[in-house]
Structure 1
Amino acid sequence: MKFLVVLFGLLAVSSAEFCYNDVVRSCKQKAAVLLEDCHAKYGAIDAVLLNLQSYVNDHISLSFDYLLTSTHFGNHEKSREGFEKLFRKLSDSTWNDAIDLIQYITKRGGVMDFQARKTKAEPRNVYELYEIEALARGLDTQKTLAKSALAIHSEATRRCEGCHDPEVSSYLEEKFMHRQAEEVRKLAGYTSDLKRLLSENNQASLSLFLFDEYLQKAV
């Protein structure tokens, strides 16, 4: 009786090891067989894969937006080194996040699709902004990325069969959500501080110069 229980247990494990079954079938046939189940996918990664791919593409697009804004403030006419440094840092950070996301997708057995979009991206063809406008747009952008991370996290934590993947939610919390909250706070503070300086001081040029000097040290 015990022998039958052990035997049935081994058979159940064997049938669950899909990659193992593919390998055994390949050896028996002595021919090239695609090992379709020998991949790194598990959990509900397929349920959130499109969202992750779209999130990567958003990061790539916004990284170039930040870079163009940085070059606008770094030219000889504007000469705002603090603003240039801030948006260059945001560009580099967003680009590195895209790379990290791609590595995570491939680690979980997925493939990156650079055409994937959950929503149609809004045209962002205005980069020659005033300083206060650039900070406001940077804040809006970071909040958009933070909201997208929350949406993917919510999808991964749904209590339903085939969609619950705590590993994805843990990754987003550790790599993105906590840091994004801090980035949003900083940009909101910069925007509010500069708006107050411009409102309380009649010498706007001096206020912008001093704030730019502050950014050079703070960023």
Structure 2
Amino acid sequence: MKTIAVFVAIIALSSAADECYKDIYATCANTLSKQPGNLISKCDSKYGAIDNLQHDLQRFTNNLLFRSFDFLLLSTHYGNYIKNRPGFEKLFRGLSDDLWQDGIDTIKYITKRGGQMNFNNIPAEIQQSQGPLELYELHALGKALDVEKQLAKEAFEIHKTASGKTHEHHDPEVAHHLEEKFMEKHRDTIRTLAGHTRDLSSMLDGPDASLSLYLFDEYLQK
């Protein structure tokens, strides 16, 4: 009886489509022929709909990296001897570091799922001129808030596609990764930036805008 069960299991395994086992079996059978190419091409870590989702993940990753550089430029702008806003410098340097790490983590995730990173897959809005980043403090906070919301929206779109019921794009593991590694953290970032924007706006309505900016920058240094 055990022999029959094992035989049935072997038949079921060998009849599966696109199986790594089949590639290995064929490779072993053709070893003497020395055929060129990757004879075990199906023995990779791909599963689910990563092939159909990796284009969006690549574009999202490039957006993270480019926006990280935007925040880095803002940080250096406020860290020079003319502006001398160490609080704003610290804020934007932290935002830059966070997005850079998110980008690196997403690259690792794509490759872990058997995909490849394409640094030429750049969003259209990045390819267009973004304008100068030497902004006033309140404008810079508003810009940062818009960037974080746009990134969150892009993550939502990928999550929506991965959570759909179409076989070509359904991949709950991608959706879970976005929820766990990105969405919760950026929710808090958006809330913080929204609070900073409203607080500074209210403070600048006072009689001494210069003092308000100084005190707010002191607060950001903590």
TM-score bracket, normalised by the shorter chain, equals over 0.9
Quickly say closer, same or farther: Cα 1:15–1:118, change in 2 above 3 A: farther
Query: Paired residue for 1:177, among 175, 183, 190?
Result: 183
* TM-score of the superposed pair, with normalisation by structure 2: 0.92
Write the distance in 2 (CA, Å) between the matches of 1:41 and 1:175: 20
Is 1:143 matched with 2:149? Answer: yes
Cα displacement (A) at 1:6: 5.8
Which residue does 2:210 correspond to in 1?
205
Query: What per-residue deviation string (whole Å, max 9, x for no partner) do you get for residues 73-109 of structure 1?
Result: 0000100000000000011111111100000000000
Is 1:99 matched with 2:113? Answer: no
Structure 1 window deviating more from structure 2 (117-126 vs 96-105): it is 117-126
Which residue does 1:71 correspond to in 2?
76
Which residue does 1:20 correspond to in 2?
21
Write the distance in 1 (CA, Å) between the matches of 2:13 and 2:169: 24
Is 1:36 matched with 2:37? Answer: no
Unmatched runs of 5 consecutive residues or more in structure 1: none
Query: What per-residue deviation string (whole Å, max 9, x for no partner) do you get for residues 168-197 of structure 1?
Result: 011000000011111000000000000000
Write the distance in 2 (CA, Å) between the matches of 1:206 and 1:120: 37
Cα displacement (A) at 1:117: 3.2
Cα displacement (A) at 1:9: 4.1
Write the distance in 2 (CA, Å) between the matches of 1:204 and 1:40: 57
The residue type equivalent to 1:54 in the other structure is R
Q: Secondary structure at the match of 1:190?
A: helix
Q: Secondary structure at the match of 2:181?
A: helix
Aligned residues with identical type, % of pairs: 49
Unmatched runs of 5 consecutive residues or more in structure 2: none
Write the distance in 2 (CA, Å) between the matches of 1:2 and 1:163: 40
The residue type equivalent to 2:112 in the other structure is K
Contact 1:65 1:124 in 2 (8 A): no
Q: What is the aligned residue count?
A: 216
Quickly say closer, same or farther: Cα 1:139–1:120, change in 2 above 3 A: closer
* TM-score of the superposed pair, with normalisation by structure 1: 0.93
